[in-house]
Amino acid sequence: MCGIIGYSGPLNAKKILLEGLSQLEYRGYDSAGIAYFDTDSNIRLVKKTGKVANLKEYCSQFKDNAHCGIGHTRWATHGDVTDQNAHPHQAGKVTLIHNGIIENYRALTDSYHLEGTLKSQTDSEVAAWVLDSLYEGNPMEAIRRLLPCLEGSYSFCILFKDHPGELYAVRSVSPLVAAYTRSGALIASDLTALIPYTRRYFVVPEGQIVKLTPYQITLYDKNQVPAQPEYLEVNWNIDSAMKNGFPHFMLKEIYEQPEALRNTILPRMSRGLPDFTDDQIPDSVFETCNKVHVIACGTAMHAGMVARALMEPLLRIPVTVSIASEFRYEEPLIDGDALVIVISQSGETIDTLAAMRLAKSYGSKTLAIVNVKGSTIARESDYTLYTHAGPEIAVASTKAYSVQLAALYLIGCRMAYVRGRYSSQEACDFLSKLLDVIPAMETMIGRKEEEKALVTHLIQHSDAFFIGRGRDYAFSLEGALKLKEISYIHAEAYAAGELKHGTIALITDQSPVIAIATQEHVFSKVISNVREVKARGAFVILLTKQSAVMDESLADFHIRIPDVEDVFTVFPIAVILQLIAYYASLGKNLDVDQPRNLAKSVTVE
Ligand code: M6R
């Protein structure tokens, strides 16, 4: 959470910072600010509540020239959304921006006698004052002394008043990537801000300090000795992080799913079988485990639930799915024989990362399914399977979900094969059916007008219900999450059989019920549940396979997906659920890509 950018170089720093903040805005958008050395080498600080556009407009009055500065877009944790609480924060000679949480800020406030000095309610300002009090003219030394004082997670970019042109950065847990480019030295919380300038970058190692000047970027290890950064190459370009003619990132990302699936599946096919040789995941990982534990948050966790419904009956071993923020405070029943699969688009979600570390401490092997190359989860897991979806910018996750599913299905298939549950022919058949979901998704994208039409009813209501059984219930959870996060309609998903145990009391005349009935063995049961809500006046939006036979009068709105096998219906259904949420948000004239209170990457607990 929170977007961070820093620059030192020959170009117009203000422009670079403001443009970078626009690229990073999806990380947080309560307020934004920049600080830079002006022509007289004084630090100018400008910060404003609201979106980056607000800040840009406000900054246009300052005609000064700058070549070194820092910028921040905030997702509030400590303190309200006010100009004062916006970053950067200034304390004596120090000006800094922060992403993360300083958990011991109260203790630091007391021990450094900061009560009465602080101008904001933020933990970040406390860190700035502590750093200032440790500063005796040597930035590296002061930062080195600051780190042991801090508990929590942080990435900082720091200017020191008496060191114009220089910018210092350090991190623990919260991400930072940096690069020296032809345009100068750049550092940011996220690659999207660097990509207009370079494809080569490095991830700042935790606890190491980076110094940026117009001429170079230097990484110092924990002993303050210059260290060689480990450079990585981005495999997508700036176009992937632009809307490219689409009105919203979310719609663009929905459209990108077929391509993303191809990119994730095809390089991992060898002689018709899933193959992870290039990912350096040996079969022994799949052969030896006696249980699978999937850990993730939000949409990624929902992908895990769908995978469980595939893997457990197929592999005949226990497959458990946990919410990362719960798992990390439990005493999980895992050991060296468990395979722990963690799923994260960003690879930075703090709870998922902490849960993975816990799993490792129990001796389990960890396999991470991650979209962002070089992210912390990817680097710390024993094995990594990258999904190749390209950058996902909209806060509501769409293409990341379908590629996570594809990766999980590849794993399930490989596991079944190496454990003797699938013959090679069965594994090849499974994979070829997985590829068939791509045209099915394309079909549903092409029929987006259906969802556009049905939301007219939906957006007149403040509540909606998603029902389904088995896999359809797992899809419902994702449908409800998508709808509530961007349309603010209160949406709940229920296992259809549970309705009569309480929830059905909420169904009144015209209540929208989105019923998913794509699983053959429970189809008639779900249809019975649809009858029950219909009898109580519900407005039923029914999602079934093309060939489903039923009484048409049951549904007020009926969307049919191409006839794929039951295990694969999630892919076309996901498109429908995403488009329902998208058009509902649009119909209510809301901010589709940046819904209130949310941010793309959840790097605080
Ligand atoms: O980056 P991650 O996949 O770890 O993120 C997990 C969740 O925060 C994320 O899926 C969230 O639920 C989405 N905004 C939902 O659309």
pLDDT in tens, 436-481: 999 999 999 999 999 999 999 999 999 999 999 999 999 999 999 9
3-class secondary structure per residue, 237-263 = CHHHHCCCCCCCHHHHHHHCHHHHHHH
List of the chain residues with pLDDT < 50: none
Task: Please work out whether the CB of residue 298 comes within 6 Å of at least one atom of ligand 1.
Answer: yes
For a pocket test of ligand 1, which of 297, 322, 377, 399 has the largest count of ligand atoms closer than 8 A to its C-beta? 297
Task: Please work out whether the CB of residue 374 comes within 6 Å of at least one atom of ligand 1.
Answer: no
* Smallest CA separation from ligand 1 atom 14, residue: 396
**C-alpha atoms less than 13 angstroms from C-alpha of 309 in its C-beta half-sphere:** 19
Task: Please work out whether the CB of residue 70 comes within 6 Å of at least one atom of ligand 1.
Answer: no
C-alpha of 270 from chain center: 30
Atom of ligand 1 nearest to the CA of 299: 10
Residue 397 CA to ligand 1 center (angstroms) comes to 6
* Contact status, residue 322 vs residue 332, Cβ threshold 8 Å: yes
Cis preceding linkage at 391, omega within 30: no
Q: How far apart are CA 237 and CA 181, in angstroms?
A: 16
* Contact status, residue 577 vs residue 405, Cβ threshold 8 Å: no
* Active-site annotation holds for 2: yes
* Contact status, residue 379 vs residue 352, Cβ threshold 8 Å: no
> At which residue do the structure tokens 């009090």 appear?
133
Task: Please work out whether the CB of residue 402 comes within 6 Å of at least one atom of ligand 1.
Answer: no
Among 314, 294, 316, 313, CA closest to 305: 294
Residue 296 CA to ligand 1 center (angstroms) comes to 9
Q: Which residues contact 528 (CB under 8 A, 6 or more apart)?
A: none
3-class secondary structure per residue, 488-526 = CCEEEEEEHHHHHHCHHHHCCCCCEEEEEECCHHHHHHH
CA angle, 568 then 574 then 580, to 5°: 150
The two three-digit tokens of residue 193, written as one number: 């801000």
Residue 300 CA to ligand 1 center (angstroms) comes to 6
Among 291, 399, 482, 600, which one carries the catalytic annotation? 600
pLDDT tens digits for 426-444? 999 999 999 999 999 999 9
Burial state string for 266-303 with b = 16 or more CB within 10 A and e = fewer than 16: eebbeeebbbbeebebeeebbeebebbbbbbbbbbbbb
Residue 1 CA to ligand 1 center (angstroms) comes to 12
Task: Please work out whether the CB of residue 396 comes within 6 Å of at least one atom of ligand 1.
Answer: yes
Task: Please work out whether the CB of residue 345 comes within 6 Å of at least one atom of ligand 1.
Answer: yes
Task: Please work out whether the CB of residue 346 comes within 6 Å of at least one atom of ligand 1.
Answer: yes
- Cα dist. 291→254, 378, 412 in Å? 33, 22, 13
Task: Please work out whether the CB of residue 584 comes within 6 Å of at least one atom of ligand 1.
Answer: no
* Contact status, residue 7 vs residue 186, Cβ threshold 8 Å: yes
- Residue 537: CB atoms within 10 Å: 11
The two three-digit tokens of residue 150, written as one number: 């801090």
Q: Which letter does DSSP use for residue 85 in this model?
A: T
Residue 372 CA to ligand 1 center (angstroms) comes to 13
* Smallest CA separation from ligand 1 atom 12, residue: 298
User: What is the amino acid identity at position 420?
Assistant: G
Atom of ligand 1 nearest to the CA of 482: 16
> At which residue do the structure tokens 């399930």 appear?
412
Q: How far apart are CA 460 and CA 353, in angstroms?
A: 39
Task: Please work out whether the CB of residue 297 comes within 6 Å of at least one atom of ligand 1.
Answer: yes
Q: How far apart are CA 463 and CA 511, in angstroms?
A: 7
Among 2, 59, 157, 297, which one carries the catalytic annotation? 2
Q: Which letter does DSSP use for residue 131 in this model?
A: H
The two three-digit tokens of residue 264, written as one number: 């994730």
Q: Which residues contact 453 (CB under 8 A, 6 or more apart)?
A: 557
* Active-site annotation holds for 413: no
Q: How far apart are CA 303 and CA 398, in angstroms?
A: 11
Residue 346 CA to ligand 1 center (angstroms) comes to 8
Beta bridge partners of 200: 233
- Residue 98: CB atoms within 10 Å: 28
- From start to end of 279-382, where are the E strands? 291-296, 319-323, 338-344, 365-370
**C-alpha atoms less than 13 angstroms from C-alpha of 244 in its C-beta half-sphere:** 13
Containing 473, the helix (H) or strand (E) segment is: helix 471-487
Q: How far apart are CA 387 and CA 190, in angstroms?
A: 17
Residue 511 CA to ligand 1 center (angstroms) comes to 28
Q: How far apart are CA 56 and CA 39, in angstroms?
A: 20
Atom of ligand 1 nearest to the CA of 302: 10
Q: What share of the chain is helix, strand, coil (3-state, %, to 5)?
A: 40, 25, 35
* Smallest CA separation from ligand 1 atom 10, residue: 299
